[in-house]
Amino acid sequence: MRAALSVVIPTLNAGGALAVCLPPLMEGLQAGVIRELIISDAGSTETTVQIAEEVGAMVVTGAPSRGGQLRRGAAAAAGDWVLFLHADTELPAGWADAVLDHIEAHPDTAAYFRLTFLETGLGARWVAGWANLRAKWFDLPYGDQALLIPRALYDQVGGFADQPLMEDVAMARALRGRLRALPLSVRTSGAKYVQEGWLRRGRRNLWCLLRYLCGADPHVLAQSYRRSGRRS
């Protein structure tokens, strides 16, 4: 039995990233897994929307805020399952079969992929290793690991919060105990880590996570996060 899968990708001036993200989706189309592709754009001023329209995606638009973009994309989705995918994340070969196996074996449970980076080196391996341990030990996968969620469960937990930061952590916490790791790894861009330094950015991300878990307002965190990034 084939799944009706909606793929939702939030974008903002992501034309270059889509060139990497979109081709692996062909596997899902050929397997009959994907029902629709939804690009949730936040006002791109370059080629993002044009690329989306050229590949036949549905485009929804609204204010920039990743949580809000994911929420708008999900609201437009008609599939029984939704795969939330970042524009700079590349699905691995065999992903469609892994998704189908999960859907058939765990119809009421969300899932995520393990993480690797497009970049190589010790810093990339260290950050990816921590991300995979965090997901396994604490049920806290991030959005760049691609979240696969049954629509009924997504609605049950209230969907993504319309917030500019930590929307993936909020969702993972809502799904705690109903998350499973898929047996494949996505590859995502570590360009911001390369620019800022793997350890420095990793430390900053961890501090931001801890502040959020202690109750900090995600809007305040987002402002602080952007300011510290500009100083880097």
* Domain residue limits, the chain: 5-195
For 55-64, the pLDDT digits (tens) are 999 999 999 9
> What CATH number has the domain spanning 5-195?
3.90.550.10
> With contact defined as beta carbons under 8 Å apart, do 58 and 29 qualify?
no
> Backbone dihedral region of 92: left (phi > 0), alpha (psi from -120 to 50 degrees) or beta?
beta
> Backbone dihedral region of 19: left (phi > 0), alpha (psi from -120 to 50 degrees) or beta?
alpha
Enumerate residue ranges in the chain where pLDDT < 50: 1, 230-232
Sequence-distant (6+) residues with CB within 8 A of 35 are: 4, 5, 6, 78, 79
Strand partners, 228: none
Rounded CA gap, 200 and 193, in Å?
A: 8
Sequence-distant (6+) residues with CB within 8 A of 174 are: 157, 158
What is the pLDDT at residue 179? 98
What is the pLDDT at residue 3? 63
The two tokens of residue 181 are: 């790791």
The two tokens of residue 196 are: 């800022």
Rounded CA gap, 137 and 10, in Å?
A: 27
